[in-house]
Structure 1
Amino acid sequence: MVDKQSIIDELSVFSGKKVFLTGDTGFKGSWLGFWLHELGAEVLGYALPPQQPIDHFSAIGLDSIIKHVDGDIRNLEQLLDTVQNFQPEFVFHLAAQPLVRLSYSNPKLTFSTNVDGSVNVLEAVRLTPSVRSLIYATSDKCYKNREWIWGYRENDELGGHDPYSASKAAAELVFSSYYDSFFQFVEQLGVASVRAGNVIGGGDWAENRIIPDCIRSLKTKQPIMLRNPASTRPWQHVLEPVFGYLALAAKLYTTPKSYSGSWNFGPRIDSIQSVQTLATEVIKVWGDGEIISNIDNNAPHEARLLQLNCDKANQLLGWSPCWDFARTIQETVHWYQSVVKGDDALSLTQKQIQAYRRSQTND
């Protein structure tokens, strides 16, 4: 097994390097963008403007910390021009339409963003020889969900019932085609698709996502309404997959062909919990609140059981999650509660990254 400290040390490869990041205004992208800055990278983010002034990107003032361009990945001309002018060595593709329920109300937007937009990113990488390492994020929902009690492996069948899941499965097929047709023949280029579970953490305010819904209810002293209390998900703190992406990107840079392919980054077994359990733990850490089940039998289909097998990342990359379910909820709720009380979001983010790095080396 790879020593955890050696993985941390390998992140020094980002110092002084140019990194192009799509989706930096998104929840996961803003955490990644700030961590890359902390590692000494010159980061250029490319994304639509943040949706709300309280989103993590705006809350920490990331636009004054890294370079940012307002752009749409569906616009190939603008995207390609931006990438080729910047000449990055690393590319992280996180931009997406990430919501299952929105994919039902606007499937065209979902497929256009998650498939056509991803094709454009791959085209930009193909046409920019400076790129040495590509992380291409899809989702754990790219697997054809059979409601198995065991985790999906990277070579399991792809598929999707809802438009979001189908768009991510399609994005994986596109990635595979580009690798087989183009990228495998570029000696100095390493590329990987990455699939993470349900990511939670401070600064996410998206609609119809469980943690933001819980926090909004708790802030206004309203009951938390649960649509699918019995559904289980692989909950993980945002820093877990972000650390995996960074570690994998570093390996792709130094040993490109050994690490190219698809990788799962999921949580520990104890973090695969029901929505009801998650909301109960959030209330416990927050200090008060109540839960009301509001099951809508006519609601669009969503998977009830989903988890990932991460043996590949554990054994070959040396990555494994280090925060259990209780710590994940504690750190997440603490971030929100502190910001509500007026604490500085940037300082909280920086301290949580530092705490996470200590946890990785002490695990």
Structure 2
Amino acid sequence: MAAVSGAALNPAFWNGKRVLLTGHTGFKGAWAAIWLTRLGARVTGVALKPDQKPNLFDLAGVAALIDAQVADIRAPKALDAALAGREFDLVLHMAAQAIVRTSVEDPIGTFATNVMGTANLLQALRRQPALQAVLVITSDKVYANNDAGTAFVEGDNLGGKDPYSASKAAAEIVVQSFARSYFPAVPVGSARGGNVIGGGDFSRDRLVADIVRAARGGEAVVLRHPEATRPWQHVLDCLAGYFTLIEALATRPDAPRAVNFGPRPGGPEVTVGELATLGVEALGGKPWVHRPDPASLEARALAIDAGLARRALGFESRLDAPQAVALTMDWYAREAAGESPLGLCVEQIEGYEALANRDLG
């Protein structure tokens, strides 16, 4: 078993790697693009244009850092055109419809993106001759959840009562099928991350983004389920886990093919209401208000066990929930004060790397 190292990444592995990153225009994808380029990777992004303003992709000028291609993964011909003439060593598939409430409003579009989009990408990758590893990002919500609050492990049953969760569980089955049928020599894995927070998320119906919009507009954020619990994780912890896993897939035959990434066990648990309180206090907003939604399909309790990442990869998150919230709100406060969004991302990436290297050294 590897020694637990937290998040120290290997720049020598990433330097010069040709990386296909889908979903680079999203919140998490933009952070990934910035970090990968700093590690020396040659990144090609494939995604739709951002669907809201503001967004981190535009604010941080990510298009200037990578080879950014606009294509819809639901359209095989458009995807093939975006990949034409390009070869890749590694693939990080993050493109998705990632909002639960949007999936309830548009289930067919959600399944088209998250299931068929994943299948379309894997089909296109069959024509890539130099692949070393493929990592598909799914979700902590892939498990059949009875709201008991039990932490799910990778071998638990897949499921999902809302279309988003079900689509991500179905994507896991697509990944397993393609891996076994068409990629006998290329490791194809999936990563199941917790609820990710961080600076630069302005998405609709995302808690942190809602808190920020309310604070900046002088309004009170409305919470549907303030008692709900989630495995909150800072975006840098989550991405470090993804990067660690795909490096293992590319270099170790014993690397696991499906891995949870979430907070350290035994850390402080933060409810939706507590996170909102921390955010409101940091940004100087109004106290949140509770407005129940009896028709909501969202799980009240969700927890994942990240023990496999620790045992098999030597990886565990470095930031607990209060630290993740503090780092997130610091980003938004300083961005609102006029600091460079890209500069803030780089500063936090460098601080995170320094933390990992200090612990190692």
- Alignment of structure 1 residues 1-363 onto 2, 5 Å: 2-3=2-3, 8-183=8-183, 185-186=184-185, 189-255=186-252, 257-269=253-265, 270=267, 272-297=269-294, 299-363=295-359
1:361 positional shift: 3.0
Report 1 or 2 for greater relative contact order, CA contacts < 8 Å, sequence distance ≥ 6: 2
Cα deviation, residue 12, structure 1: 2.3
CA distance in 2, matches of 1:10, 1:27: 24
Distance 2:124 2:15 in 1: 23
The alpha-carbon distance between structure 1 residues 78 and 271, as it changes in their structure 2 partners (threshold 3 A), is: farther
Shift of 1:224: 1.6
> Displacement, 1:148?
2.8
CA displacement, residues 70-110 of structure 1 (integer Å, 9 cap, x when unaligned) = 10011112223433521010100000000100011100100
Q: Deviations over 1:174-201 (max 9, x none)?
A: 1111122222x21xx2221000011010
Which runs of 4 or more aligned residues in structure 1 lie more than 6 Å from their structure 2 counterparts after TM superposition? none
* Greater Cα offset, 218-227 or 107-116: 218-227
Q: Is the 8 A contact 2:5 2:315 kept in 1?
A: no
Deviation (angstroms), 1:272:
3.6
The aligned amino acid for 1:228 is: H
Instruction: Check conservation: 1:17, 1:89, Cα contact below 8 A.
Output: yes
Structure 1 residues 4 and 37: alpha-carbon distance in aligned structure 2, compared to 1, 3 A threshold: farther
What is the rounded CA distance, in whole Å, between the counterparts of 1:290 and 1:347 in structure 2? 30
The alignment partner of 2:136 has SS state of strand
Indicate the larger mover: 311-320 or 118-127.
118-127
Distance of aligned partners of 1:65 and 1:251 in 2 relative to their CA distance in 1, 3 Å threshold: same
TM-score (norm 2): 0.95
Amino acid at match of 1:268: R
Distance 2:201 2:7 in 1: 27
| Contact 2:143 2:156 survives alignment (8 Å) | yes
Larger CA deviation: 149-158 vs 80-89: 80-89
Q: Do 1:4 and 1:361's aligned partners in 2 also have CA atoms closer than 8 Å?
A: no
Displacement of 1:4 in angstroms is 5.8
Which structure 2 segments of 5+ residues have no match? none
CA-atom RMSD, angstroms?
1.6
Post-superposition CA distance 1:220-249 (Å, at most 9, x none): 111121111111111111111100111111
Residue 6 (structure 1) shift: 9.6
Change (3 A) 1:279 1:203: same
CA distance in 2, matches of 1:178, 1:108: 22
**Counterparts of 1:39 and 1:156 in 2: how far apart (Å)?**
34
Residue 19 of structure 1 aligns to a residue in which SS? strand
Q: Secondary structure at the match of 1:202?
A: coil
Cα distance in 1 between the residues matched to 2:54 and 2:151 = 35
